[in-house]
Structure 1
Amino acid sequence: MERLEIRELAYFTAVAEELHFGRAAARLGMAQPPLSRAIRQLERRLGVVLLERSHRRVALTEAGAVLLRESRTVLEAASTAARRTRRAGRADPRLVLAMKPGGDGGLLPEILDAYQAEPGALPVELVCSFGKREVLLREGRADAALLHRPHHDPTGLDTQDLLTETQLLVIPSSHRLADRTRVRLNDFAGESLPRWPGAPEGDPPGLEVDDLGQLLHLIALGRMVAVLPASIRGQLRDDLVAVPVDDAEPTTLVLAWPEHATSPALAAFVRAAAAVAGKTTGHDG
């Protein structure tokens, strides 16, 4: 069976992404001639042409495009394995939980208390991020994450639903909608909304926000409005108002972790979270 080396895939990926042997060699910290030889040797071993070369350009063949896609998957898996292995071998093991600031639906204190009562519980390290927390899981940088469906993609992850919430429009008390008891999405269409880290530029339009305090401050200043889960009520400033949005899709707080994870400490955390969620009826807004 033909086996490809991680080194070969790293070399090929650099060339395929740069489409220039000189830039790829500089990126890899090596000379160009051995890089060119390595790519030719890889093509001979596979029996296909991966790159069309000319004096003017380097281009991927169809086979090269396939190998680039597969190489990225393999290289990321290798990096993830290394990160998880290093973390598992730490002298002070801990369970890393990724979450959005204020994005625990008010459940986290009780979950942490329940978890610490579990045999073999580890200290919990919180990584707070408005960015793509599911990526932290896939990259081996976190053991579990609190996500919100439908905003996050849990493909390839195991999940436990914790809490389903209605959504609220958070606005300054001086806003034209502040005296309304309920609103609909069309009522604030066109207003500036926060853009979360990792979102496509301009989707939605508005300033990028990576901190809950920053977000609430910008709303109070009239720079934007935001649609947030109902549990945010307890964290609002006195100069902000929260109005239920009738036609906003409810969000579900989800605990997610890598598929096929075998950590007893993680299993205990999932059990604790599920037990706490089972006692919660949810927020109606």
Structure 2
Amino acid sequence: METRELRYFVAVAEELHFGRAAQRLGISQPPLSRAIGGLERRLGTVLLERGSRGVTLTGAGAVLLREARAALDAVEAAERRTRRAALAATGSPAVVLAAKAGASGELLAKLLDAYAAERGAVAVDVVLCGPGEQAEVLRNGRADVALLHRPFDDTTGFDTEDLHTEGQVAILPAGHPLSARPHVRLAEVTDLPGLPLPRWPRPDGTFPDGPGPKVRDHTQLTQLIALGRACAVIPESGRIGLGEGLAAVPVPDAPVVTTVIAWPPHSRSTAVAGLVRAATSL
């Protein structure tokens, strides 16, 4: 299969409409239809069911969509990392570290200081991501190494080292009846009248259904909580630096969160190795 065919297929599978997919790709519809038909004949299976009500994915098509996204990410990652290696060879070496905005701030600061003190350390470009975006940024080559958080982030396909395990806290408006408690149960927080949990975007940019407000970053979340429009359950380290109008209450029965440092298993970067070494030494 060619990357062009995979891009064509992903566009149709995501749009579920040949016309919109062709417009997205900047081509006319007939060559797109021919390319998908040729791909199906070569694979010996139907990938997309065409009907009067539109286009739907078959079981085989769903598998190819998942695999094609991973393959295209790998191609994109190879291009980005090759370009970065070329820049390093010209005397501008740097390593890109992805981290979740508003999380692990103290650990990140200590890590950068520890690595900077290492012999041969290079510049570290920090990319702050929205929730769940660090793994995607690492997979597509925009980052060389990332701080991820299990069980929220998918670490499949990465080499990892565990750095820190912590409990979770409920972030509530100051003055809420539960804010005076020494701890709360998870069930109490997930079903608070008038304070729904936020809805974070999925990898494709859409939001899950539910009553909670749509939230894209930590700043939005804390402002909504302070206004009495939402609550949240976050890792305990997230309570550091909370502004006025917010209270943090431990949630002992919430799943523990493990912060890991992750990198592609085929990486041969000495800078990545240095960052991992500095992180594990902390």
TM-score (normalizing by structure 1): 0.79
Give the letter aligned to residue 131 of structure 2: G
Matched, 1:223 2:232: no
Alignment CA distance shift 1:32-1:115 (3 Å): same
CA shift, 1:20, in A, is 6.0
Q: Distance in 2 between matches of 1:121 and 1:69?
A: 37
2:200 to 196, 199, 202: 196
Classify the secondary structure of the residue corresponding to 1:164.
Answer: strand
Say if 1:131 and 1:198, in contact at 8 Å, map to a contact too. no
Give the letter aligned to residue 115 of structure 1: Y
Classify the secondary structure of the residue corresponding to 2:259.
Answer: strand
Q: After the TM superposition, which of the residue ranges 130-139 and 195-204 deviates more from structure 2? A: 195-204
State the identity %. Answer: 54
Q: Distance in 1 between matches of 2:171 and 2:238?
A: 9
- Paired residue for 1:174? 175
CA shift, 1:95, in A, is 1.6
Alignment CA distance shift 1:244-1:11 (3 Å): closer
Matched residue count: 272
Structure 1 segments unaligned to the other structure (5+ residues): 277-285
Say if 2:77 and 2:139, in contact at 8 Å, map to a contact too. yes
Q: Distance in 2 between matches of 1:152 and 1:171?
A: 24
Q: After the TM superposition, which of the residue ranges 267-276 and 216-225 deviates more from structure 2? A: 216-225
Classify the secondary structure of the residue corresponding to 1:98.
Answer: strand
Q: Distance in 2 between matches of 1:51 and 1:251?
A: 39
Give the letter aligned to residue 127 of structure 2: V
Say if 2:131 and 2:217, in contact at 8 Å, map to a contact too. no
Alignment CA distance shift 1:187-1:75 (3 Å): closer
Instruction: Provide Cα deviations, 1:139-196, integer angstroms capped at 9, x if missing partner.
Output: 1111122121111111111111111112112222210112211211233342312222
Q: CA RMSD in A?
A: 3.2
Classify the secondary structure of the residue corresponding to 2:237.
Answer: helix
Q: How does 1:114-129 map to 2 (within 5 A)?
A: 114-129=114-129
- Paired residue for 1:281? none
1:235 to 237, 241, 254: 241
Structure 2 segments unaligned to the other structure (5+ residues): none
Matched, 1:264 2:270: yes
Q: Distance in 1 between matches of 2:48 and 2:227?
A: 55
Matched, 1:213 2:219: yes
1:82 to 62, 65, 79: 79
- Paired residue for 2:151? 150
CA shift, 1:204, in A, is 6.1
Say if 1:95 and 1:123, in contact at 8 Å, map to a contact too. yes
Q: Which has the larger radius of gyration?
A: 1
Classify the secondary structure of the residue corresponding to 2:240.
Answer: helix
Say if 1:229 and 1:251, in contact at 8 Å, map to a contact too. yes
Say if 1:134 and 1:153, in contact at 8 Å, map to a contact too. yes
Q: Distance in 2 between matches of 1:220 and 1:19?
A: 40
Matched, 1:5 2:28: no
Q: Distance in 2 between matches of 1:188 and 1:58?
A: 40
